[in-house]
Structure 1
Amino acid sequence: MSTPPVSTPKIRIRGLHKAFGSKIVLDGVDLDVETGTSMVIIGGSGSGKSVLLRCILGLIEPDAGTIEIDGENLLTASRSRQDALRRQIGMLFQNAALFDSMSVGENVAFGIRAKHSDRNGPPPSRAQALQMAGDLLKQVGLDPSVGDLSPSELSGGMQKRVGLARAIAGNPNIMFFDEPTTGLDPIMGAVIDGLIVDCVQKLGSTAIAITHDMASAQRIGNRAAMLYHGRLIWQGEASELMHSGNAMVDQFTHGRREGPITMELRK
């Protein structure tokens, strides 16, 4: 009987290291994210979650290790190939990161035109991109008329929705979410999580989300992992987060003061 072929993970990370001076942030991270999986990464402040995403995005250069997308190592690929691989990624930043100098519609249209920059043929015109932006705003539950407003006129929840609309512009097949429910009340947090799940499923995307919110983690993810002192100390089903059997994960997810995780003094 022949052995079935092993599928290549959409994202594969091996031996990833990153330090800032004497501070080790990533200490040999190994992670596979299969195609179509929604992976949630939890961990305390300073555990390396955001640095991990920024290394994949190319915003930070790791000290060692490999980062592969579809089996191709980002860190050794040509610059043009790196750019092409990373253009597969849509990103929802923690605070939406909207451009204050642009209207809401122009923010979303910016994402549309940026994603078309490497394709054959001219990018959509400004008018076409704004029309497409209106359709994307509808997908995240906003009336297209919101496109005429400035980001400062929106609530935190509405800004998150606009950030999500911009993130899904260009139909990315990889999506990153950086603390998507930070600053939101529990009901709006659940709304944003529902929109994220709907968008990821509609696009068939592979997703990585980082969060401190355990309810959000279980709503968004079907797989989960925990970073502690720059290492992944646990991986499993997101549904097992609250009863993982790992003492550190259990302490973190239940917010217990007593346990193997202790607060460290800042130097």
Structure 2
Amino acid sequence: MSDATPKIRIRGLKKAFGPKVVLDGVDLDVMGGTSFVVIGGSGTGKSVLLRCILGLITPDAGSIEIDGVDVTTLSSRQREPYMARIGMLFQNGALFDSLSVWENVTFGLVAAARAGHGPRITRAQARVRAGALLEQVGMDPAVGALSPSELSGGMQKRVGLARAIAARPEILFFDEPTTGLDPIMGAVIDGLIADCVRKLGSTAIAITHDMASAQRIGDRVGMLYEGRLIWQGPPSTLFDSGNPVVDQFTHGRREGPIKIDVRS
């Protein structure tokens, strides 16, 4: 892969569910070691875009290249090595209630080892590794002994982040990382995300409708609207984009080109 080849390159990506067209020709380049944030309203296809890249949804058309290889043409087995290089922070944490915090953090490492896709790791080693990862996201290693139900929403997000970075992934995805958090905790999570991405040298894609979050974690931002990325630019121009759709969304205006059907 040359330096000019994007880490992730998407061209003409389309996906519909019956008559509902969700993605209608998405084009996106994300260079290695950078963070790209996708903004857009609810139901505009942000999560569908991530799921297509992850291989959880099969697109109807288009290509998704990772390091120059179109992963949509690969079989499930051929795709596994590419997916193993991806870490994911889910919107609601997605922690396993039946496992302790430390078991959640190292779940992927242990699963990979058992499947023969990663180095062997004992439970004692996994617990030590979990403690180090919890410290990396600003938590006391002793939290590892707790269950997810004993944690606040912000703490669960940090545990989810620790799990996402456990295998030192080349690519990180963040699905609405600040949803459900107060503004201060949202800023804390965004700071941790930015620090982790920088330290790992990872390439990141985040989806959000939180403009403050987009500005804190993105090197570039794009808006998804009517199935396409209609605008891209640096986060510093979010509130002065010159695009009427983006301006209405970022300023939260009721009037504008975005029409919302509100029925009494």
Task: Identify whether the pair has TM-score above 0.5, normalized to the shorter chain.
Answer: yes
Specify every segment of 5 or more residues in structure 2 that has no aligned partner in the other structure, as ranges: none
Q: Is the 8 A contact 1:109 1:126 kept in 2?
A: no
**1:173-252 equivalences in 2 (<5 Å):** 173-252=170-249
Where 1:101 maps in the other structure, the secondary structure is: coil
1:116 positional shift: 4.8
Q: Is the 8 A contact 2:112 2:118 kept in 1?
A: no
1:133 and 1:52 mapped to 2: Cα distance?
30
Q: Is the 8 A contact 1:16 1:27 kept in 2?
A: yes
TM value normalised by structure 2 = 0.95
1:144 and 1:229 mapped to 2: Cα distance?
45
Q: 1:163 aligns with which of 146, 160, 173?
A: 160
Change (3 A) 1:151 1:120: closer
What is the aligned-residue identity percentage? 73
1:123 positional shift: 2.0
**1:56-95 equivalences in 2 (<5 Å):** 56-95=53-92
2:64 and 2:17 mapped to 1: Cα distance?
19
TM value normalised by structure 1 = 0.94
Where 2:160 maps in the other structure, the secondary structure is: helix
1:6 positional shift: 6.7
Change (3 A) 1:264 1:6: farther
Amino acid at match of 1:34: M
Paired position in structure 2 for 1:9: 6
- Count residues in correspondence: 262
Q: Is the 8 A contact 1:112 1:166 kept in 2?
A: no
1:130 positional shift: 1.3
RMSD: 1.6
1:121 and 1:65 mapped to 2: Cα distance?
32
Q: Is the 8 A contact 1:222 1:239 kept in 2?
A: no
1:108 and 1:150 mapped to 2: Cα distance?
12
2:117 and 2:181 mapped to 1: Cα distance?
40
Where 1:75 maps in the other structure, the secondary structure is: helix
